[in-house]
Amino acid sequence: MKHILVTGGSGFIGSNFVRYWMQSHPSDRVVNLDALTYAGNPENLKNIDDSPNYRFVHGSICDADLVAKLFEEEKIDTVVNFAAESHVDRSILGPEEFIKTNVNGTFTLLEAARNGWDKDNTSCRFLHVSTDEVYGSLGANDPAFTETTPFAPNSPYSASKASSDHLVRAYFHTYGLPVLTTNCSNNYGPYQFPEKLIPLVIINALEGKLLPIYGDGKNIRDWLHVEDHCRGIDAVIQNGVVGETYSIGGCNEWTNIDIVKLVCKHLDKLMPGDSPKSDLITYVKDRLGHDRRYAINAGKMKRELGWEPRFTFEDGIEKTVQWYLGNQEWWERVRDGAYRDYYQQQYS
Ligand code: NAD
Ligand code: DAU
């Protein structure tokens, strides 16, 4: 039985992971430490709240006393660190919170593990959830990122994640802390905050608002369903080699404009209207320093851990569109005043 500290468990991937873990490992203890920033929403886990094996703690990963207390009180032996500021556009508008949480927060967790864990306990694991954005941008014909691609982060967000990855690596080499790092591509699925491309487009289309495409719409991302990411993290916790990094991705590259057209196609099918939703597509000013292409070679995950994505993109996108159609109350509530202010600043 594991005692897992999940940080950022009330956000998009974290809440999907907590739900996934409690279903697939029902006897484990799960402690969710989340600061409930604009992106964290306790409603994401409302069916889990009553479970005796689950505890929610409202607090920051930057709070060293709180984190140390949790390690001791809950006998934490596994950390899965999702907590982060995660949106590239917000990091361009204001990088400071990204440094605080993504760099200092990860450092605080690493220190708690170093001080709290007995070196002889071989079952402890610190899994740091990172991103493919640390590798920078690919040209059209470049091979996909692998675990050995050199770091070249281009946004304050990716630079802060790269910094945290380096700290995690250093704690393995210097102190022998049993760390694992995953670098994953773009996730999609239920409970994603509507600032990110796919939910933003679904919700804007439902409300008859413009669908903003940055630049020429030809930037490429490699999309993975969030449940496949959660299974990948599980595989790395169970069988990953301590000190190693693992690239997780969908082998599923799409230009932004094609994704938006695909979402529109599903919406037209599910909610036919007078005109096709793609009429709302509008090209807008490009993101500063916008990375052109990301792609992951997930060969190591397949070879060494037997992991592969299960969702096809067509199926995953259709289910995601259906989820947003069926959960209007959820997305209406998460778009509070603070989000409206951000939207105004970003798209005006
Ligand atoms: P998210 O923004 O939806 O959720 C982040 C969560 O962290 C929120 O619940 C928030 O309240 C919490 N949080 C923020 N600061 C905190 C702090 N100081 N202390 C405790 N909790 C704090 O993010 P997400 O999309 O779910 O991403 C989760 C992780 O996965 C991040 O580390 C991100 O870098 C990484 N990642 C995301 C993607 C993606 O496509 N979304 C892909 C690869 C990696
Ligand atoms: O690659 C992994 C990363 O994927 C994660 O580390 C990040 O946390 C996550 O936010 C995501 O980053 P992106 O910047 O790729 O995701 P986003 O949904 O913001 O944008 C996807 C693409 O769509 C990107 O090329 C920018 C473009 N875009 C985005 C928005 C919000 C638009 O064209 N219009 C928009 O309004």
Q: What is the pLDDT of residues 111-166, one digit of tens each?
A: 999 999 998 899 999 999 999 999 999 999 999 999 999 999 999 999 999 999 99
Q: C-alpha angle with apex 160: 92 to 73, nearest 5 degrees? A: 125
Does some domain include residue 268? no
Ligand 1 atom with minimal separation from the 33 CA: 20
Nearest ligand by distance to the CA of 134: 2
Tell the residue nearest (CA) to atom 25 of ligand 2: 219
Structural domain includes residue 178: yes
- What is the position in ligand 1's atom list of the atom closest to the CA of 86? 2
205 lines ligand 2 (CB under 6 A): no
Domain assignment present for 108: yes
Quick check: pTM over 0.95?
yes
pLDDT of 338:
83
User: Any catalytic annotation for residue 157?
Assistant: yes
Is residue 133 among the annotated active site residues? yes
Within a domain: 169: yes
Q: Work out the burial of residue 119: count CB atoms within 10 Å of its CB; fewer than 13 is exposed, 13-18 middle, 19 or more buried.
A: exposed
Q: Dihedral angle at the C-alpha atoms of 98, 170, 118, 126, nearest 10 degrees? A: 50
Residue 243: inside a domain, yes or no?
Answer: yes
- Choose the catalytic residue: 54, 157, 246, 294: 157
Nearest to 183 by CA among 220, 202, 158: 158
Q: Is 41 exposed, middle or buried (0-12, 13-18, 19+ CB in 10 A)?
A: buried
**Domain with 53 in it: what CATH number?**
3.40.50.720
Encode the chain (348 residues) as per-residue pLDDT tens digits.
999 999 999 999 999 999 999 999 999 999 999 999 999 999 999 989 889 999 999 999 999 999 999 999 999 999 999 999 999 999 999 999 999 999 999 999 999 999 999 988 999 999 999 999 999 999 999 999 999 999 999 999 999 999 999 999 999 999 999 999 999 999 999 999 999 999 999 999 999 999 999 999 999 999 999 999 999 999 999 999 999 999 999 999 999 999 999 999 999 999 999 999 999 999 999 999 999 999 999 999 999 999 999 999 999 999 999 999 999 999 999 988 788 888 989 998
34, 77, 85, 133: which is the annotated catalytic residue?
A: 133
| Residue 66 in domain | yes
Residue 78 placed within a domain: yes
In a domain, 195, yes or no: no
Q: Which tens digits make up the pLDDT trace of 27-38?
A: 999 999 999 999
128 lines ligand 2 (CB under 6 A): no
Selected catalytic residue, list 77, 132, 227, 234:
132
User: Residue 34 belongs to what domain range?
Assistant: 3-188+224-252+289-313
**CB of 189 shorter than 6 A to ligand 1:** no
* Count: domains in the chain: 1
Tell me the sheet residues that pair with 30.
Answer: 4, 54
